Amino acid sequence: MKKSALQTARAAYQPKLPVALTGAVVAVEGQPTQSVADQEDIKKLFPNTYGLPELRFEKNPNPTVGKPVNVGVILSGGQAPGGHNVISGLFDGIKKINKESKLYGFLMGPGGLIDHNYVELTSDIIDEYRNTGGFDIIGSGRTKLEKEDQFDKGLEILKKLGITALVIIGGDDSNTNAAVLAEYYKKIGAGVQVIGCPKTIDGDLKNEVVEASFGFDTATKVYSELIGNIQRDCFSAKKYWHFIKLMGRSASHIALECALQTQPNVCIISEEVEAKNQTLQDVVNYIADIVAARAAQGNNFGTVLIPEGLIEFIPAMKVLIAELNDLLAHHPEFATKTREEQRQFVLDNLSKESAEVYASLPEGVARQLTLDRDPHGNVQVSLIETEKLLSEMVGNRLNELADQGKYNGKFSPLHHFFGYEGRCAAPSNFDADYCYALGYNAANLIAAGVTGYLSSLRNLTKPSVQWLAGGIPITMMFNMERRHGQMKPVIQKALVRLDGTPFQKFASKRDKWALSTEYVFPGPIQYFGPAEVCDQPTMTLQYEALDK
Amino acid sequence: MKKSALQTARAAYQPKLPVALTGAVVAVEGQPTQSVADQEDIKKLFPNTYGLPELRFEKNPNPTVGKPVNVGVILSGGQAPGGHNVISGLFDGIKKINKESKLYGFLMGPGGLIDHNYVELTSDIIDEYRNTGGFDIIGSGRTKLEKEDQFDKGLEILKKLGITALVIIGGDDSNTNAAVLAEYYKKIGAGVQVIGCPKTIDGDLKNEVVEASFGFDTATKVYSELIGNIQRDCFSAKKYWHFIKLMGRSASHIALECALQTQPNVCIISEEVEAKNQTLQDVVNYIADIVAARAAQGNNFGTVLIPEGLIEFIPAMKVLIAELNDLLAHHPEFATKTREEQRQFVLDNLSKESAEVYASLPEGVARQLTLDRDPHGNVQVSLIETEKLLSEMVGNRLNELADQGKYNGKFSPLHHFFGYEGRCAAPSNFDADYCYALGYNAANLIAAGVTGYLSSLRNLTKPSVQWLAGGIPITMMFNMERRHGQMKPVIQKALVRLDGTPFQKFASKRDKWALSTEYVFPGPIQYFGPAEVCDQPTMTLQYEALDK
């Protein structure tokens, strides 16, 4: 493939490893660990990998030559910037241990392991992908690795290739499955270690011991670049309201980080909407009041950030959707009714509260909720264009305010959705370093002979040379949650904490940002300039460090 | 306003002036000029400013101290990256001539001149905006400055402020009006020079003597960054077709430049569609055939670039729209009909050809064409979401191909529209230098005492220190065109030339790009790295240089 000038220049970048990893290491054991909740249940489910100690790597004063190791690597789930660097770090790490070591990549996600599709990753291949975005080196996929017959099928190819360690690069679900796989392989004496690496642009895989998942830094910087550019346009033209939806369905970290970076007029945080038990109309009124207040100052323009998952966090919408799923499942004749009959049928058969919510929705959206269903017959909430839904309802609300003499402005909304633009961006210096170190460090966990561990780097607000490297037993992040009707051990998902400093900082400033236009324009990610431009971690990470 | 780290670092950038402009200059006159067409008509309309010579600035071996001058500046039309640098270059230029010179900015576009809204731009203000994106220093607007009473009204405030030169920063229409204003002020002996600067991200203000308009470089680099990121995602996930619409209604330069930079699977060029007299269905079939051919190779993913103005270039659509405008204007009772009656009415009353085109459109789009009308009663073509229209029709076509046994793949389209993301990006090094030099050079045109000139820099593919600086009589870019039923002298708009090297290069490679996936990932604009990364002009400019 033809390389861009930036790609060529960037290929030469050597990620900066933590000092502890620059030579041979020794693993220092900490105290045995506990899961974050439901300790007894989880201990029972993971008899071989529960309660292991945290590990920290320190320089080894008496290094010995390591044995060669064959390692497999899998990219699991949605793309995140830096995946290629995890793999190149892992490659360099196992070669450093012994240059006869080999790395195999399973193709298109966990399915590659099950179906025995793989490629040996040689230095020629690896060198093509250093510091690049994307997961295209081996592809990714969403096959869930969670059943024993899958594990057994995978073991066949691992045995055949002499692979004794598997590195799974994924989000909370993929690392949950990595822990289950580690436990299973340990139980049956398969002789295969399993190591996880924390990936997701959504930022919802983090906790007391994992400071950040990789990709969040780069993706939020790309989105913030675009939001900043739009804000500059908005402030120059002074005639549009930009409704900007941001990827991330299960948590609002991306929207919050982008708000901290760009200071928009409005940013909705789903977790707050849920905690305050707000309705969709509450959210609409909140935005409309800001539009009206700005209009009163002569400012008929502004920006609104919306997390992709908002609708699913609104309690009344959740109830409505559950009722609709139930109602439509029991009335197959619904499809044969006319448009008008369908609407009336829904209104007549929902609870009073849900019927009110349904009636309050713009007709197109209300209809969409009864039409588009997933293969399980459920309403497809993700198809709702929340940014358009909100702007339409804000427009309606402004008409009401105008009738009451409380609004006299112009409201011209424009809509944007940013997601795919950031998932495969070339990694920022932070993500390039973090990912490379995660992969390199995973090699050390392999050499240390452990399984069921997550590659861990801490102290991330410091320069990368000062990061602390080690391993975290994945089970220590577990709790029991209901999934598809069954209690399952899973990594607890990190939502935006309303008592955390990132949200508190935002909450303390948003009223000012709403009215006085204090846009910040971060500009594009820079790779070659001064450190304060190129090497800053996210504001979320910096503020969270204050909470520790 | 709080500045981002990049903004702060970038504020220190000193744009690199052409050598000729680094000291005092002398204006060297070339040959008298002619307009590109309709010379007699235009000469008659511009008796005072027609036929002037081109000017070139050279170093002045015997500099004298210039007189202070009061200058007004106006930003006209849509935002383009670098506008602030034109103004800071102009500021520095007139201060260099004499430090008592003053610069006044008229607010929110040409309307500021007519309504006497202005601000004096002092060095404190200017310094806040160097190398930044946006037009927010004084705002922009779309008021057309074309009537004598507007000119007279403007002259009042110019006289009051002692302004003897006005710099208008705008696109082809704004510079057309600048020439008319120059002629008028000259005719009445107003004592005010008028100088234009070529701005537009669309790239359609260029010709034999103007190599590029400013903003095109930065905007296309931002869009190419995003397209590249999406392509990397597309190539990693291997499951979506991304339909990406790009701003620019009247020409396809943006789409073409982005295609040259990113090598997508498909890029539609409106000018070619028109030249080949293609129908919408032809365009759809072209895309669907590529989707099917890729699917046959197992590649159910790809990227399609679409210029915003496509619909308006399709001859049959133009006829349909004209017929609809006419039909609906004569049948006010149309609004009272039911949905079904409306559709039938339209089908019954269009010409046979247009009725067929209308019937071939997805119903939602067809309906939209009869609903949304502008204040003049015309169909609002710009409201059509061309990217969704095309993907829907491609999906339909693929179903036909599947029925014929010619397609057996999956087609999952996603949609994007990029425009506002690039118009106010911080200028690239090229645009930062070009804009600053355009403004600085405008000061020299003022000092040279000329009017009706466009600030001109040529040799733009060379490093900026080697650029040639001068002035072009705006009338030499004129021809006569019908506007609102009247023949008017206007700057000829530059469409994509199908015989030009940029298009030819694209055309020679697109079949290969369609099938073999040769995506390029340009990455974000860099300001501090190696020259080959930071200082490259657009491929359009580089290829056009070959045509000269």
Where are the strands (E) in B172-301, listed by range? 193-198, 241-246, 266-267
pLDDT tier at A384 (50, 70, 90 boundaries)?
Answer: confident
Asked which of B94-98, B295-299, B389-393, B484-488 is least confident by mean pLDDT, the reply is: B484-488
Nearest to B105 by CA among B124, B127, B122: B122
Residue B232 forms contact with A (CB below 8 Å): yes
- Predicted pLDDT of residue B412: 96
User: For residue A63, is pLDDT > 90?
Assistant: no
- Predicted pLDDT of residue B363: 86
Give Rg (Cα) of chain B: 25
Can you read off the two tokens belonging to residue A415?
Answer: 């809509």
- Alpha helices (H) along A3-109: 5-11, 39-45, 83-97
- Predicted pLDDT of residue B378: 76
Q: What is the mean pLDDT of residues B193-218?
A: 96
* Angstrom distance (rounded) from CA B140 to CA B202: 17
Residue A11 forms contact with B (CB below 8 Å): no
The larger pLDDT score, comparing residue A365 to residue B472, is at B472
* Angstrom distance (rounded) from CA A524 to CA A81: 15
Residue A519 forms contact with B (CB below 8 Å): yes
The minimum CA-CA distance between A159 and chain B, rounded to whole Å, is: 28
Question: Is A425's CB within 8 Å of B524's CB?
Answer: yes
Judged by DSSP in three states, A55 sits in strand
Across the interface, of A135, A136, A421, the residue whose CB is closest to B226 is A421
Distances (CA, A) of A398 to A284, A295, A395: 10, 11, 5
Q: What is the pLDDT of residues A484-523, one digit of tens each?
A: 788 999 999 999 999 999 999 999 999 999 999 999 999 9
A235: chain B residues, CB-CB within 8 Å: 134, 136
- Predicted pLDDT of residue A365: 86
Residue B228 forms contact with A (CB below 8 Å): yes
User: For residue A471, is pLDDT > 80?
Assistant: yes
Q: What is the pLDDT of residues A417-446, one digit of tens each?
A: 999 999 999 999 999 999 999 999 999 999
- Predicted pLDDT of residue A238: 95
User: For residue B374, is pLDDT > 80?
Assistant: no
Q: What is the mean pLDDT of residues A396-408?
A: 97
Residue B414 forms contact with A (CB below 8 Å): yes
Across the interface, of B136, B263, B425, the residue whose CB is closest to A235 is B136
pLDDT tier at B348 (50, 70, 90 boundaries)?
Answer: very high
Can you read off the two tokens belonging to residue A360?
Answer: 């309050």
User: For residue B364, is pLDDT > 90?
Assistant: no
Question: Is B1's CB within 8 Å of A520's CB?
Answer: yes
- β-bridge mates for residue B169, sequence order: B75, B197
Which one of A202, A217, A431, A433 is the catalytic residue?
Answer: A202
Q: What is the pLDDT of residues B14-70, one digit of tens each?
A: 999 999 999 889 999 999 999 999 999 999 999 999 999 999 999 998 888 889 999
Mean per-residue pLDDT over chain A, rounded: 95
Contact B452, B183 (CB under 8 A): yes
A522: chain B residues, CB-CB within 8 Å: 4-6
Chosen from B75, B132, B136 to mutate, greatest number of chain A CBs within 10 A: B136
Question: Is B4's CB within 8 Å of A526's CB?
Answer: no
Q: What is the mean pLDDT of residues B368-391?
A: 83
- Predicted pLDDT of residue A371: 80
**A125, containing H or E segment:** helix A123-129
Across the interface, of B133, B233, B525, the residue whose CB is closest to A232 is B133
Across the interface, of A226, A229, A533, the residue whose CB is closest to B5 is A533
- Predicted pLDDT of residue B515: 97
Q: Is A433 a catalytic residue?
A: no
B235: chain A residues, CB-CB within 8 Å: 134, 136
Residue B510 forms contact with A (CB below 8 Å): no
pLDDT tier at B338 (50, 70, 90 boundaries)?
Answer: confident
pLDDT tier at B371 (50, 70, 90 boundaries)?
Answer: confident
Contact A264, A231 (CB under 8 A): yes
Q: Which residues in chain A (72-101) have CB-CB distances under 8 A to chain B? A: 79
Across the interface, of B132, B414, B524, the residue whose CB is closest to A225 is B524
- Predicted pLDDT of residue A8: 95
Q: What is the pLDDT of residues A293-306, one digit of tens each?
A: 999 999 999 999 99
Question: Is B4's CB within 8 Å of A236's CB?
Answer: no
- Predicted pLDDT of residue B415: 97
Query: SS3 letters for B17-67?
Result: CCHHHCCCEEEEEEEECCCCCCHHHHHHHCCCCCCCEEEEEEECCCCCCCC
- Predicted pLDDT of residue B332: 86
User: For residue A258, is pLDDT > 90?
Assistant: yes
User: For residue A372, is pLDDT > 80?
Assistant: no
- Predicted pLDDT of residue A373: 74
Across the interface, of A222, A423, A523, the residue whose CB is closest to B4 is A523
The larger pLDDT score, comparing residue A248 to residue B251, is at B251
A532: chain B residues, CB-CB within 8 Å: 5, 9
pLDDT tier at B373 (50, 70, 90 boundaries)?
Answer: confident
Residue A233 forms contact with B (CB below 8 Å): yes
A222: chain B residues, CB-CB within 8 Å: 229, 524
A530: chain B residues, CB-CB within 8 Å: 5, 9, 528
- Predicted pLDDT of residue B65: 80
Question: Edge-to-edge strands of the sheet including A453-458?
Answer: A25-32, A53-59, A468-473, A453-458, A193-198, A163-170, A70-75, A102-106, A118-120
B139, closest residue in chain A (CA to CA):
A236
The minimum CA-CA distance between A84 and chain B, rounded to whole Å, is: 11
Residue B427 forms contact with A (CB below 8 Å): no
Q: What percent of chain B has pLDDT over 70?
A: 100
- Phi then psi for residue B486, to 5 deg, are -120, 145
A76, closest residue in chain B (CA to CA):
B237
Question: Is A263's CB within 8 Å of B2's CB?
Answer: yes
- Predicted pLDDT of residue A368: 83
- Predicted pLDDT of residue A379: 78
Residues of B acting as catalytic residues:
202
Residue A235 forms contact with B (CB below 8 Å): yes
Q: Are strands A266-267 and A302-307 parallel, antiparallel or unpaired?
A: parallel
* Angstrom distance (rounded) from CA A78 to CA A402: 44
The minimum CA-CA distance between A11 and chain B, rounded to whole Å, is: 13
Residue A512 forms contact with B (CB below 8 Å): no
- Predicted pLDDT of residue A310: 96
Residue A232 forms contact with B (CB below 8 Å): yes
- Predicted pLDDT of residue A208: 87
Give the CA diameter of chain B.
81
- Predicted pLDDT of residue A84: 98
The minimum CA-CA distance between B400 and chain A, rounded to whole Å, is: 23
Complex prediction ipTM: 0.96
Q: What is the pLDDT of residues A82-139, one digit of tens each?
A: 999 999 999 999 999 999 999 999 999 999 999 999 999 999 999 999 999 999 999 9
- Phi then psi for residue B435, to 5 deg, are -65, -45
User: For residue A374, is pLDDT > 80?
Assistant: no
Residue B515 forms contact with A (CB below 8 Å): no
Q: What is the pLDDT of residues A132-179, one digit of tens each?
A: 999 999 999 999 999 999 999 999 999 999 999 999 999 999 999 999
B169: chain A residues, CB-CB within 8 Å: none
The minimum CA-CA distance between A480 and chain B, rounded to whole Å, is: 31
Question: Is A235's CB within 8 Å of B532's CB?
Answer: no
Nearest to B90 by CA among B67, B71, B110: B71
Across the interface, of B9, B425, B532, the residue whose CB is closest to A229 is B425
Question: Is B238's CB within 8 Å of A108's CB?
Answer: yes
Across the interface, of A5, A10, A422, the residue whose CB is closest to B229 is A422
* Angstrom distance (rounded) from CA A451 to CA A473: 8
